[in-house]
Amino acid sequence: MTGKEKNSSIPISSLLKRNEVKVLVVEDDKFLREILGGKLTKEGYTVLEALDGDQGIEKTKSEQPHIILLDLVLPGADGYDVLGRLKQDPEVSKIPVIVLSNLGSREDIDRAIALGAQQFMVKAHHTPQEIIEAVKKILDEHYLQK
């Protein structure tokens, strides 16, 4: 039984109280990571951080987060690589991924969605609060309405 299946039977609201919803933020910019991490922690999520693509994959496998916020331009393996590898791996392929990047052309969006991302958000076009709302919405859709 994978971690996700175990979690999917428990309502997110009760998990939230126990700081058990794990959000993995894969972002190389320290400042953006801190702002987003701070906001998520304040909302009651447990925040895991990864500084590059390889670390992102490693942490996804070891920690089994409930949702991943993934940057595309990363040192080493880029976001597309990470996304592709995660979606290929049956152990973690069901974890929803929100791509959070400053790329944002149609090709970028189409490519990320085709690789299996749930949503594509351009950093400069969304406030941290809007990102939190998107995280909540996707968690609800993914784990509650099943």
Partner 1 sequence: MKLKIRHTLFFRFFWTLVLLGVMPLAISAFFLVATYQSRIADKVSSGVADELLRNASIQFFLIFLFVLIIATFSAFIVSRNISRPLRTLTEAARLIGEGNLNIQIKVSRRDEIGNLGSFFNEMAGNLKEVQERQAEISRLKSEFITVAAHQLRTPLSIMKWSHHTILDGDVGKVPIKQRELIEKAEVANESMIRLVHNLLDAARIEEGRFGYKFDSMDVRAFLHELVDEKKIFAENKNTKLELKDSTSGPVEISGDKERLAMAVGNIIDNAVRYTPPNGTVSVSLEYDDAKLRITIHDNGAGIPQKDQEKLFTKFYRAQSTMHVETEGTGLGLFIAKNVVEGHNGSIWFESHEGQGTSFFISLPAKGSLQAAVNKSYDTFVKNI
**Angle, vertex CA 44, rays to CA 40 and CA 47, nearest 5:** 50
Query: Can you tell me which of 1, 17, 90, 107 binds partner 1, judged by CB under 8 A?
Result: 107
Quick note: the x/- pattern for partner 1 over 48-77, rule CB under 8 A, is -------------------------x----
- Work out whether 38 is an interface residue with partner 1 (CB under 8 A): yes
CA dist list (Å): 141 to 53, 85, 98, 144: 26, 23, 13, 6
Q: How far is the CA of 100 from the CAs of 6, 7, 62, 108, in angstroms? A: 27, 24, 22, 11
Among 20, 128, 136, 138, binds partner 1 (CB under 8 A): 128
Q: Which residues bind partner 1 (CB under 8 A)?
A: 29, 31-32, 35-36, 38-39, 42, 73, 102-107, 122-125, 127-129
